[in-house]
Each structure stands twice: as structure tokens, then as C-alpha cells.
């Protein structure tokens, strides 16, 4: 069970999911200068969470690059220790840089990863890591060719303490064998603040490819599946005709190779009255109990997120774990890059989640929304 909080966790952006960047206690696995990384392609605000997590784990940020000087200047306000690079090539040619973290436009993430791996460096990209199966296959080949890592920031599990703790409970056998997972991933649209690419399907990939990737990754992890079949999936633009390429709703049903099943729903309909950017919830049913995660808020009761509800033979239990669990992924990723291990996340797991979200997107039924 979680221990008492050891130090205060800083507040972080909760109104806008695009700039959601949790901050936790430093848990350094390396000394200063031992693991150097760079940040490049700052198109999505998740780069702040990715960078912060690596720094908290002891990594040293050396460079930042984006062709837009305004994005670089904004980044430097949060991370002034970084030096602005003149070009991406300056980063790729620096032998000290071990890893490049990136939150490029989704359709550009795969091609950028190939360049990074060709330069002999590991790559850490925001989700969704690809917008086509062809990009995925190219990355698979490049990983085999270069031996480099193509890591993915599936933040709704990796950077949420309640989600981390749920994984620990499952590993401890708290609910037995996982049979079914239901996930809800609503997001606030904040359309005026979004860049133009956000509304271009070729660039963002579709709702199941984008925010659906979180849900599928969690299913594979919590259920222990190595593979799954997308049984059914649907997408729609219900209420945003002014953005004809936007999908504001999506859902899917999957069956894992071990018999576990999943249903998830993602959407852009978070109401203005909610205290956070999305009421993300996950329900995990096992043979001996079940877990509910209220990740970002406990509506009308507690605006602080990271609530874990557990019911099993021992009774009904509630854990408020904000500030108590931490984010082990980042330290594990750093050590994996150093030792060439796979403790943070296996390459096949990262790619399988990407593959399934692309398949769900490609085969989705497009719902008719006109009366």
C-alpha cells in the first residue's frame, strides 16, 4: 500500500490536457552529466511532461530545438538550462546526447524517429507515435537495424500515480487475473488554443489513433496481453461541423490473446464546469475483485486526482495516492538506455499498442451524424 507522502508535489496544469505536465519528487537514478538528452520539435505541450520526468530522474538537458523561435523561448522559461540549438543536425551530431525527446506533429513523429535512430541515439516520442502502419513498420525495421530504442510517452498510465499504483496492485494479485477493462478518456477541446494541424486528420491521425492509444496501451499492460484483436470500433464528428476533419468521438472493443476484453470511449466533450481537462476513469475487473481509478478528479467530492478504489476479499478500500507513488518509468527508461535493457517498457509493447490503435482507427465505422 502507498506510504505517507515524502515531500510536497508541485501543482501542475489541470485545465488543458495539451499542456498537462505532472511534477513529482526527484528520484535520480544517474548523476548530473551522466545521461544527456535534448528536446526537439515542440509542437505538443506534452514535451514539458516528458522533459520534466527525465530531469526528475537525473537526466541532464543540454539542447532544445524547434524551427519556431517562439516555442523555444517559451520552453526556455521552464528549462533555462537548455541551450538553443541552431538546427536539429546540431543535436544529432553531438556525441554527448544519448536520447532525443520529441513532441512533433503526430504525422512527423515516425520520420523524425528514423533520423534520430540513424544518428545513433535513442528516441522518446509523445503518443501517438505513428499515424500509419507504414510508419510503424519502418520504425520496426530501423530498431532492428540500429539497435536504438523508440520509446513512447503513453502518459495516461506512465505519468499518473493512480495508474502506476493500479499496476502495482495487479502485480501483487489484489484482484486476481484481469478479465475486463473499461476506460473513459474524455478531453476538453479548447478549440481556439489548438494549432491548425490538430484539425487535419492526415496530421493528427484520428481520435482512436491519437487519444485512443492511451487506452489500448493500458489494456495491454494491465491485462498482460501480448496481442489483441480489434473487434469493433466507431468514430464520429457529432458536434463540430466547423472542423470537418475532427473526430470528436470514438470507441472500440478489443479481445486480448489471453481472453481478456476491453471497451473504451474517448471524446472531446468535457463540459466547461468540470474542474479539470477530463474525467479520466479506468475500471479493471479481475477474478477476485475490481479496481476503479479516478485519475484527475473525484467529481463533486475532491478536485485532487489519483484516487484508487479497490474491492476484494478484504473489503472496500480507498487510496488517495497523489504524491505518494512517483513516476518510475523515467528512471527505468534512462537505465534501459544505458544498459540496453527493457524494464521501463518493452519495444514490442510500445509498438503493439501503436499497431492496435492504428488498426482500430483504420477499420472504424464512421457514424452518420446528420438527422
Strand partners, 302: 298
CA angle 358, 164, 144 (to 5 degrees): 45
Q: In the prediction, which pLDDT does 23 show?
A: 73
In DSSP terms, 294 is beta-bridged to 281, 307
Per the document, the length of the chain is 371
Nearest CA-CA partner of 59 in 350, 337, 322, 339: 337
Nearest CA-CA partner of 357 in 154, 145, 116? 154
pLDDT for the residue 20: 64
> Residue 10: its pLDDT value, please?
38
Confidence grade of residue 5 (pLDDT, cut at 50, 70, 90): very low
Segment among 22-26, 152-156, 286-290, 358-362 with least mean pLDDT: 22-26
Q: Using alpha carbons only, what angle is made at residue 181 by residues 178 and 186, rounded to the nearest 5 degrees?
A: 155
Predicted confidence at residue 19, as pLDDT, reads 67
> What is the pLDDT at residue 348?
98
| Residue 22: how many other CB atoms lie within 10 Å | 24
Residue 4: per-residue pLDDT: 30
Residue 369: the pLDDT is: 73
What is residue 16's predicted lDDT score, i.e. its pLDDT? 59
- Cβ 330 vs Cβ 53: under 8 Å: yes
DSSP sequence for 208-246:
TTTTHHHHHHHHHHHHT-S-EEEEEEEEE--S-TTSTT-
**pLDDT tens string 193-221:** 999 999 999 999 999 999 999 999 999 99
- What strand order describes the sheet that includes 36-42? 83-84, 60-65, 36-42, 97-103, 122-126, 150-153
pLDDT at residue 2, rounded to an integer:
43
* pLDDT tens figures, 49-107: 999 999 999 999 999 999 999 999 999 999 999 999 999 999 999 999 999 999 999 99
| pLDDT at 360 (0 to 100) | 98
Task: Establish how many alpha carbons lie within 13 A of residue 8's alpha carbon, considering only the half-sphere containing its beta carbon.
Answer: 3
Q: pLDDT tens, 263-307?
A: 999 999 999 999 999 999 999 999 999 999 999 999 999 999 999
User: What pLDDT, in 10s, does the model give residues 216-246?
Assistant: 999 999 999 999 999 999 999 999 999 999 9
Evaluate the omega torsion of the peptide bond into residue 128 and state whether it is cis, within 30 degrees of 0. Answer: yes
Amino acid at each position: 500500500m502507498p506510504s505517507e507522502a515524502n515531500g510536497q508535489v508541485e501543482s501542475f496544469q489541470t485545465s488543458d490536457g495539451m499542456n498537462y505536465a505532472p511534477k513529482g519528487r526527484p528520484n535520480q537514478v544517474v548523476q548530473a552529466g551522466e545521461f544527456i538528452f535534448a528536446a526537439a520539435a515542440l509542437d505538443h505541450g506534452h514535451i514539458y511532461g516528458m522533459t520534466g520526468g527525465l530531469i526528475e530522474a537525473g537526466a541532464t538537458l543540454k539542447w532544445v530545438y524547434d524551427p519556431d523561435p517562439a516555442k523555444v523561448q517559451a520552453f526556455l522559461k521552464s528549462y533555462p538550462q537548455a541551450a538553443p540549438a541552431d538546427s536539429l543536425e546540431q543535436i544529432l551530431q553531438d556525441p554527448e546526447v544519448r536520447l532525443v525527446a520529441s513532441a512533433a506533429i503526430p504525422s512527423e513523429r515516425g520520420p523524425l524517429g528514423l533520423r534520430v535512430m540513424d544518428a545513433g541515439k535513442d528516441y522518446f516520442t509523445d503518443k501517438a507515435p505513428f499515424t500509419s502502419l507504414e510508419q510503424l513498420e519502418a520504425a520496426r525495421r530501423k530498431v532492428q537495424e540500429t539497435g536504438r530504442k523508440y520509446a513512447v510517452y503513453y502518459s495516461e498510465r506512465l505519468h499518473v500515480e493512480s495508474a502506476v499504483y493500479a499496476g502495482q496492485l495487479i502485480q501483487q494479485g489484489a484482484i486476481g487475473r484481469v478479465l475486463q477493462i473499461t476506460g473513459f478518456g474524455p478531453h476538453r477541446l479548447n478549440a481556439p488554443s489548438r494549432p491548425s494541424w490538430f484539425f487535419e486528420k492526415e496530421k493528427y491521425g484520428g481520435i482512436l489513433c491519437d487519444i485512443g492509444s492511451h487506452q489500448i496501451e493500458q489494456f495491454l499492460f494491465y491485462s498482460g496481453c501480448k496481442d489483441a484483436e480489434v473487434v469493433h470500433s466507431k468514430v464520429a464528428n457529432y458536434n463540430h461541423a466547423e472542423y470537418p476533419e475532427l473526430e470528436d468521438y470514438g470507441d472500440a472493443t478489443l479481445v486480448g490473446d489471453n481472453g481478456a476484453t476491453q471497451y473504451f470511449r474517448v471524446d472531446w466533450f468535457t463540459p466547461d464546469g468540470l474542474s479539470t481537462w477530463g474525467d479520466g476513469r479506468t475500471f479493471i475487473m479481475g477474478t477476485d475483485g475490481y479496481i476503479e481509478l479516478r485519475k484527475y478528479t473525484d467529481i463533486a467530492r475532491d478536485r485532487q486526482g489519483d484516487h484508487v478504489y479497490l474491492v476484494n476479499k478484504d473489503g472496500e478500500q480507498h487510496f488517495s495516492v497523489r504524491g505518494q507513488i512517483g513516476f518510475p518509468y523515467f528512471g527505468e527508461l534512462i537505465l534501459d538506455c544505458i544498459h540496453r535493457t527493457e524494464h521501463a517498457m518493452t519495444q514490442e509493447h510500445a509498438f503493439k499498442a501503436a499497431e492496435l490503435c492504428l488498426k482500430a482507427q483504420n477499420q472504424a465505422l464512421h457514424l452518420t451524424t446528420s438527422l
